[in-house]
Structure 1
Amino acid sequence: MPAFKTLPTALLGLTLACPALAESQRLELGQVLIGAEDRSGEDASVEEAQARLEQVPGGTNVVDMRRPLQGRVASNQDVLAYQPGVYAQSAGNEGTKISIRGSGINRAPGAHASGLYTMLDGLPLTGPGGTPYELLEPLWLDHVEVLRGANGFDRGALALGGAVDYVSHTGYNAPLLNVRYVMGSHGYAQRQVSSGQVLGDFDYYLSMTDAHSDSYQDHTTSKSQGVIANFGYRFNPNLETRFYIRHRETDNDLAGRVTKHSIEHDPRAANPAYVTRNDSRDQPGSTFIGNKTTYYIDDDSSIQTGLVYHDYPMDLREGPNRLKVAYTDVSGTFDYKRRDTLWGMESNSTVGLRVTKHLPNDGASELVRIPGGNTARYAPGTHMRNFTYQGSDSVLHVGNDLEIADNLWLTSGLAAIYTRRESAVTYPVGGGKTSLGDWDYAPRLGLRYQVTPDLQLFGNLSRSVEAPHPWSLIYSSNVRFPTGSGAATGTQRDPVKLQNQTATTLELGGRGDSALGEWSLAWYYAQVRHELLSVLPDANATTPYELNASPTVHQGIEASLNSNLWSAKDGGKLSLRQAYTFSDFHYRDDDRFGDNRLPGLPMHYYQGELRYDFPQGFFAAVNTQLVSKTAVDYANSYYADPYATFGATLGYNAPKGDWQTWLDMRNLTDKHYAATVTPGYDDKGLDAARSTPGEGMAMYVGVSWSLL
């Protein structure tokens, strides 16, 4: 039995308010909630989010965007840097490969790769088809909440990697006016204008951004423009609502994957086939419209409802054909929270429902782009085939936190899950159809013990369930139209059937504050069944197959330490922040690959930054990133090399918080390395085109000004 049970051969740019103003406004928000249940976090401050996530008996992260914005923030790689347990590397433009605990380990960067449940302001962004990255504009964010692995249970997360919530600014934490401009190497330019304000019971946040980059690698030019707005209104202390609108357009040229030899000797070179075809990924306009309404029933209970409409058409020109896609999702959420006293002990209960469904659309049409291969006799633009992919995810989850002894909390929960996936080839005649519907469940049990105010220990045993993407049913098929089928000859005809991926995970760890600094440490061990793994069937393939694997193991260690090394009498401070992730992902006695390591991610991943803040507002920092070798294929016959990069940042924060400037210098040694790997099956020790190069030496300068 092969490893795949069926193998057919992605200046604190002050988008934040003045600290004093923001603090006063957030205090007003807190006063509204006195005597009521804490809100879920989407409109809360960073500090409130940190306090709330510390009540989760497992690994979590809160990214305060005030820190990343003291440098270039172009993609999720910049947002999620220095976060233990989170691997985020850019593929040359906005497409970033993000993996937590091996989630989506082998999926190609960007596109609709997921393995994570992604939210915008607590509302679903991830749908049955995955997670498009176009709406993830970093400059719009106040903070990011990461609940690693099954710790995303209370957010309705299904995926192995857990939940990531990108929380926007509101009128309560944004300046009246902010202007930010960044420019730098490789033709990079980024601009933002934003405004936020509280007007009585009404508040708003509005931001417009655009960016352009020629990028480091040839043929990876990118451009984007977008707008966000959210409007909140408090009808009374017990009822409030907020509307969210996002629209963003992107156009990214694609360079394809290259060999290790190419990266070593000519890292800026693109895959020649991609240059010839002029491949690109055009998102003509992705639109997200949502609402969230909260009703505080009394001091101890609340109900929150959410509704989202998400439309994201794409024009994909990767490979010899042109694929036009029309996705439309609608999502609904319901959360009931209650605080009680049971047998003299505090009890916090939650009941939540999340439903996300693809709406019927025009499906996908595939056209011949250029003559070549088996399509040589067809003119560009010839209609090849039409196909559809539909799906829905429904999750009903019930959870409880019960204080069973002083400072000892028992967390329990159970989720009922229904997933539906469907794919059909509607043109030409003779295409097949696959429809899958599965019920599953996910229990959760955890303990959290606050040993002292500065030391917490935790542990949990949980289960996760992740369904395949609907589009993988058709693209993973090896049943193709036979000769004589016109332009459709050789394309996939009958979608395959795939099983849901499940995992049972044990996690132990702790967090706290000590003489060494603020720290966190988590160890996890997951047994995964039917893992959804991707593979490029050959070096010329553009779309990986995604198929169920034989049993696998995901285990690792996630650690962070933020230390204040020295404080001067004049107010200066020397600090060090560090994040380390150890990842051991491998097969369990596979018939073909034994206990081979799963390719696509490094085993060791370290990031560190040493920084000195001067009392006058100046700061200087040096940083490094150390990454071990990465297996390139499932046979482990070839590896991408380990690497180390070094950078530095210089900047100035005005004491009043109204303006800032900085210089961000990256990869100062101009190291040539592979940032991401999209694996093959068995390359037999050959150097196949599987990798994307990391950015070479670059410098960026930015300035931001705010009217407070």
Structure 2
Amino acid sequence: MSRAHNISSVFARSLLLASTAAIVSVSAAAQTSPQPPLPAITVDAPQQKRAAAARPSQRNVVPSARAPRVSNPAAAPVAGDQARGPALTVLTVQQALRDIQQTPGGVAIVPAEAYRNSTVANTIKDVLDYVPGVFAQPKWGDDTRLSIRGSGLSRNFHLRGVQLYMDGIPINTADGYGDFQEIDPTAYKYVAVYKGANALQFGANSLGGAINFVTATGRDPFPNGVSADMGAFGYKRLQANAGGANGPWDGFVTASTQASDGFRDHSDGHATRLSGNVGYQFSPDVETRFYLNANEVRQRIPGAVTKASALSNPQAAAPANVTNDQQRNIDTVRLANKTTIRFEDTKVEFGAFGVDRHLMHPIFQWLDYRYQDYGGFAKVTDDRFIGGFRNRLVAGVNVLNGSIDNQQFTNVGGRKGALQSSSIDRSKNTSLYVEDSFYFLPNVAAIAGTQFLYATRNRQDRFLSNGDQSGATEFSLWSPKAGLLWDIDPTWQAFANISRSAEVPSFGESSSGSGGTAVIAFTSIRPQTATTYEIGTRMKRPDYSWEIAAYRANIRDELQCIVGNAVGSCNVTNADRTIHQGIEAGAGAAIFRGIFDNGPAPDKIWLNVAYTLNDFRFDNDPSYRNNELPGAPRHYLRAELLYKNPTGFYFGPNIEWVPQSYFVDNANTLKTEPYAIWGLKAGVDNGGTYSMYVEARNIGNKAYIASASIINTASSASLLFEPGSGRAVYAGVKARW
């Protein structure tokens, strides 16, 4: 065992013991501590300084946790126009917190200040690292294996089981798959995570739930900024944003360009991304906003390798990926509009969107896919007293339709060869949902809701020399939900819920029998349904916070890799019964205060911990009995210990620890290896104009497996393993005003 591994293991155990002690001390302190309003959960971020110039008065647009909003007086005239408050179509961080914490289940808000100014913020992992229950591991470039509560474990490419949104507009395609290439972590003011059926308001129909990436507006503080980051493996990024408001108008735009040689061979890439919006307030209670998002991504793919290669030569690419010059290149343009109208006790939101996406993807074949997705949404939130009891009703409809012009060619060294298949794949999805929260006590709500999903999939085969793969399916699925939400005090909540989720298969689950695998028609694959039981609690106070949730999902027809071959090609169909259950625990605590500065805002040592326990298994399966489901670690710990000074200086170590290996096949014959990697970061961020950071990752330069694809039965020759990056140092500077 190496000295670096010993250091990592000792550090991991020390952090785990410190976190346990902190949680025990937090529980004892909870009896006597003051109780300010309930703010963010999971993360601890520096507070923004207010701009020197006074802003116009702002209207309160979100009801408190216990009472519906009442009408505010009209804003006073300023310079011949009405004073304008924050945007109506986009909630502020605090408004989003109050809104999301009316959910009786696992949710989180991650403000940009929690990650953007203190890390390289390059991938979705940097954003969601400290949200328990989320397993996010980059594979190469921006591509990431993401799973929430074991969602999408069988998807060895792209994403399934979690629905991604940008400002409430779908990023996933109409048939359900998603990519991370269009995600720019520098572009958002916060990210909202809804686990499982807690994402009902988005029409989410998946086990994992939904993630919404929310961009700033011209009415937010510090709308202007510029940043530069650089570091290991040739990484460099420039980013800038600008915005402002003038009377009823406001606008915001952010753009970034980045490039990297990549840790592994054949993993270089570059990307340019742009997001912007323009809003107009017709009155203090009516606003419309137009959105633009555009991306150009060019990325080479190093490919999955054998376990031996991943651990002995982690920088090596899969030979076939180099020979075929495998890549994933994407061009995207997204346009959308959202309008919000606010009445006395009711808020109405509606909008429409369209997406044009071109995927140029030379892999085993040269995939040329053109996506045209479009849709609309409407939502009503009514919060009032009925017969002396508070009642909050949320209802809406989401429509997401689209087509894929699907052509596949022979891949000749990264160039198009002869046409191998061609089809038009059409998807339609309409979901209607309603959820009512009735406060039968001033601080306890009974919550009930349901969602109805009608979806169709239709394939028109245009390449008939290998047979006609045309076909169509349709699904009508109900997903009811019931729960309780108890505001124990203004900083502490407990919740429980029972919910159903239903996930419709995408076209990617079908197979034409390539690579020696069996033919599986997409029309033969059933939707995945699950009944989930969840209970938990969350608290946030100035010097400590926690959230903990336990859940169990009984799943029928899980979309699972059942048919495959020894080298890693896998076709997805339905498993009979499976079980996903686990514990999601996060805690933050100032374990020491006033070390060098005991003034009104003393310095402190802050511990932040996110721990996930996963127990995923077959349930008396005819072939795999009660074997573990492959693809996710049983234990996953992310922790950091930071010294924080009131001047904004911070410094400290962090660790990522997977103490047990996990299986990569249904037969439970081949495992990954456990690992612990540690890093250090330091910087200055006092919430003002300037900030800077330096971050070192995997200081021990440990060779480890960051993620793995899965298969039915694996062997030592199976190409399933994605090596994690080696030792790396990054630095960045940012200015905002």
TM-score by length of 1: 0.90
How big is each residue's C-alpha offset from its partner over 1:108-138, in whole Å with a ceiling of 9 and x where there is no partner?
25x3x12112111122222324123232111
Contact 2:568 2:718 in 1 (8 A): no
Contact conserved, 1:230 with 1:244, CA < 8 A, in 2? Answer: yes
Q: How does 1:197-596 map to 2 (within 5 A)?
A: 197-283=244-330, 285-296=331-342, 298-319=343-364, 321-359=365-403, 363-370=405-412, 381-429=417-465, 430-473=467-510, 476-478=511-513, 495-513=522-540, 517-534=544-561, 537-540=564-567, 544-568=570-594, 569-570=598-599, 571-596=602-627
Identity level (%): 28
Secondary structure of 2:97's counterpart equals: helix
Q: Deviations over 1:20-74 (max 9, x none)?
A: 0399769625379973599999622222212222211111111111121111111
- 1:158 aligned residue: 205
Q: Name the CA distance, whole Å, in 1 between partners of 2:92 and 2:273.
A: 24
Q: What is the identity, as a one-letter code, of the residue corresponding to 1:629? A: S
Partner of 1:135: 182
Query: What CA distance in whole angstroms lies between the structure 1 residues aligned with 2:306 and 2:378?
Result: 48
Query: Counterparts of 1:68-147 in structure 2 under 5 Å?
Result: 68-69=115-116, 70-109=118-157, 111=158, 113-126=159-172, 127-147=174-194
CA distance in 2, matches of 1:446, 1:17: 33
Q: Which amino acid aligns with 2:380?
A: Y
2:18 match = none
Structure 1 residues 193 and 535, CA, compared in 2 at 3 Å: closer, same or farther? farther
Distance 1:503 1:491 in 2: 27
State how far apart, in whole Å, the 2-side matches of 1:442 and 1:422 are.
Answer: 23
- 1:632-671 matches, within 5 Å, as 632-653=664-685, 655=686, 657-671=688-702
* Residue identity in the other structure for 1:135: E
Aligned to 1:181: 228
Q: Distance in 2 between matches of 1:275 and 1:29?
A: 57
Pairwise CA distance, 1:388: 2.4
**4+ residue stretches of structure 1 with deviation over 4 A?**
15-18, 22-27, 31-34, 36-42, 489-496, 513-516, 539-542
The CA deviation at 1:609 is: 0.6
Give the letter for the 1:563 counterpart. A
Query: Which deviates the most, 37-46 or 231-240?
Result: 37-46
Output the CA distance in 2 between the equivalents of 1:601 and 1:156. 26
What letter corresponds to residue 258 of structure 1 in structure 2? V
Aligned to 2:720: 690
AA aligned opposite 1:323: L
Q: Which amino acid aligns with 2:168?
A: G
Q: Secondary structure at the residue paired with 2:321?
A: helix
Residue aligned with 2:207, SS: coil
SS in 2 for 1:460: strand
Q: Over residues 184-220 of structure 1, what are the superposed CA-to-partner deviations in whole Å (9 max), with x where a residue is unaligned?
A: 0000001101102121111111111100011111111
Aligned 8 A contact 2:554 2:577 in 1: yes
Structure 1 CA distance for aligned equivalents of residues 222 and 139 of structure 2: 33
Residue 42 to residue 669, structure 1, CA distance change in 2 (3 Å):
farther
3-state DSSP of counterpart to 2:266: coil
Any residues of structure 2 matched to 1:15-54 within 5 Å, and which?
19-21=49-51, 28=58, 30=60, 35=70, 43-54=90-101
Letter in 2 for 1:115: G
Asked whether the equivalents of residues 424 and 494 of structure 1 are also in contact (C-alpha less than 8 Å), the reply is: no
The structural deviation recorded for 1:176 is: 4.5
Aligned: 1:597 with 2:633: no
In structure 2, the CA distance between the partners of 1:46 and 1:152, relative to structure 1 (3 Å rule), is same
Q: What secondary structure sits across from 2:712 in the alignment?
A: coil
Residue 566 of structure 1 aligns to a residue whose secondary structure is: strand
Q: Distance in 2 between matches of 1:22 and 1:108?
A: 50
Q: Tell me the secondary structure at the aligned position of residue 216 of structure 1.
A: coil
State the TM-score, normalized to the length of structure 2: 0.86
- 1:705 aligned residue: 735
Alpha-carbon distance in structure 2 between the residues aligned to 1:209 and 1:390:
33
Partners in 2 of 1:536 and 1:137 — Cα distance?
A: 35
Using the alignment, how far apart are the partners of 1:548 and 1:220 within structure 2? 33
Deviation at 1:371, TM superposition (A): 8.7
Contact between 1:158 and 1:465, CA under 8 Å: does it hold in 2?
Answer: yes
Q: Aligned in 2, Cα 1:516/1:599: closer, same or farther, shift over 3 Å?
A: farther
Contact 2:520 2:571 in 1 (8 A): no
Contact 1:25 1:172 in 2 (8 A): no
Contact 1:117 1:159 in 2 (8 A): yes
For the 8 Å contact 1:346–1:403, the answer to whether it is kept is yes
Unpaired segments ≥5 residues, structure 1? 1-14, 373-378, 482-488
1:525-549 deviation line (CA, Å, top 9, x unaligned): 110011112367234456x422111
Q: Note the C-alpha offset of 1:368.
A: 1.3
Question: What amino acid sits opposite 1:119 in the alignment?
Answer: Y
CA RMSD of aligned residues (A): 2.7
8 Å CA contact 1:300–1:338 kept in 2: the answer is yes
- Tell me the amino acid that sits aligned with residue 198 of structure 2: N
Going from structure 1 to structure 2, the CA distance change for 1:91 and 1:208 (only over 3 Å counts) comes to: same
Work out the CA distance in 2 between the residues paired with 1:83 and 1:23: 35
3-state DSSP class of the match of 2:132? coil
Moved more, 591-600 or 608-617: 608-617
Number of aligned positions between the proteins: 667
Q: Distance in 2 between matches of 1:658 and 1:515?
A: 24
8 Å Cα contact 1:92-1:694 kept in structure 2? no
For residue 493 of structure 1, report the CA deviation from its aligned partner.
9.7
Using the TM superposition, name which of 253-262 and 42-51 deviates more. 42-51
Structure 2 unaligned segments of length 5 or more: list them: 1-44, 64-68, 73-84
Q: Distance in 2 between matches of 1:25 and 1:526?
A: 48
**Other structure's SS at 1:431 match:** coil
206-215 or 39-48, which deviates more: 39-48
Q: Are the structure 2 counterparts of residues 371 and 346 from structure 1 closer, same or farther at C-alpha, using a change threshold of 3 Å?
A: closer
Counterpart in the other structure of 1:7: none
State the SS of the aligned residue for 1:631: coil
Name the aligned partner's letter for residue 93 of structure 2. Answer: V
Alpha-carbon distance in structure 1 between the residues aligned to 2:312 and 2:88: 48
The alpha carbon displacement at 1:495 in A equals 4.7
1:425, 1:494 within 8 Å by CA — same for their partners in 2?
no
| Distance in 2, Cα, partners of 1:138 & 1:313 | 22
Post-superposition Cα deviations, 1:248-305, rounded to whole Å, max 9, x if no partner, equal: 110110111111111221110011111111111111x211110000112x21012110
SS at match of 2:113: coil
CA distances 1:650-673 after superposition (whole Å, capped 9, x unpaired) = 1122x5711111111000111111
Distance in 2 separating the partners of 1:357 and 1:538: 34
* Matched residue, 1:622: 653
2:28 corresponds to: none
